[in-house]
Amino acid sequence: MSRKSKKWKQPDFDRLENLQFDPTGLDLKWSKNLTTTIDAYRIHRCYDLGSIERAIGQGEMPRSFVKQWRMVRSVLHKFAAVTPKISGIEEMMRRRQIIQFTALILLTLGAPAIILTWTLKLDHIAWFTYPFGFFSAALFAVTAIVTAWYNREIAWTIHDYVEDNPNLLKSEKALLHEWSQKLIRYTARLIRREGLDLDKNLLKLYSNDYDGITFLKEPSRFRKHYVGRYKA
């Protein structure tokens, strides 16, 4: 059998079970950011990965991490793919987007209208531009409250779905916990090695089941995350 006819074998590293996540080489900023991002995906709070992709493209990430990123990203995408399948989520997201877009358009039109009317002294149209502008500003403010309500409803809908399906992505969640834990230990070593102030390098997390972290603040009505301090 010729070499060309032999079936190509996928490298072991391309199989998830053979990926040994190693954060070595990451700087402090990215080790902390990645910890928060990976931990957030555990509860299906899916951050945009664009900043990581851009950092890789600009050479800010070590080659060792870049080699691992494709498989790490594939796991994160599995979590991101769950949300659109949950009943009601896409409709709430669509409504939220329409409200935000409408308020932004009205403010974009209303604010300049007020400024031009006042600057150019266009009193003959002031009866319309002033009320329209103030209405646009008020609507934009109300939109922030409505958006927060939709965000809360979306988060609770996802939470309830995950609670009702405890085995959903069970093995992948275990991987994310493992990777976050490795990042926490790695970051703590970086902080100690560089003699940095632990109180100035707090960590934002959405889960509280990690070693090496003292949790200073818990989630509240206005804060969706824990605030953690690396142990000395």
Q: Which residue has the higher pLDDT, 191 or 85?
A: 191
**Residue where the block lists tokens 């060792």:** 64
Is-above-0.85 flag for pTM? Answer: no
d(CA 204, CA 182): 16
**Does 87 have pLDDT greater than 60?**
yes
**Does 127 have pLDDT greater than 80?**
yes
CA 170 to chain centre: 20
The pLDDT tens digits for 51-69 are 999 999 999 999 999 999 9
The pLDDT tens digits for 212-225 are 999 999 988 777 88
pLDDT the model gives residue 88: 87
**Does 13 have pLDDT greater than 50?**
no
Mean pLDDT of the chain: 86
CA distances, 89 to each of 28, 43, 151, 158, 203 (Å): 35, 15, 10, 8, 29
Return the bridge partners of 217, or none: 227
CB under 8 Å to 145, separation ≥6 — which residues?
Answer: none
**Does 14 have pLDDT greater than 60?**
no
**Does 117 have pLDDT greater than 90?**
no
**Does 40 have pLDDT greater than 50?**
yes
CB under 8 Å to 72, separation ≥6 — which residues?
Answer: 19, 21, 38, 179
Residue 214, classed as helix, strand or coil, is: strand
DSSP per-residue codes, 75-136: HHHHHHTTGGGSTTHHHHHHHHHHHHHHHHHHHHHHHHHHHHHHHTT-GGGHHHHHHHHHHH
Domain ranges for the chain: 26-82+169-230, 87-164
**Residue where the block lists tokens 């779905």:** 161
d(CA 180, CA 205): 10
**Does 181 have pLDDT greater than 90?**
yes
Q: Count the neighbouring beta carbons within 10 Å of the beta carbon of residue 135.
A: 13
pLDDT the model gives residue 190: 95
pLDDT the model gives residue 10: 39
* Residues 169 and 78 sit within 8 Å (Cβ to Cβ): yes
pLDDT the model gives residue 17: 64
- 170-194 and 28-42 helices, crossing angle to 10°: 160
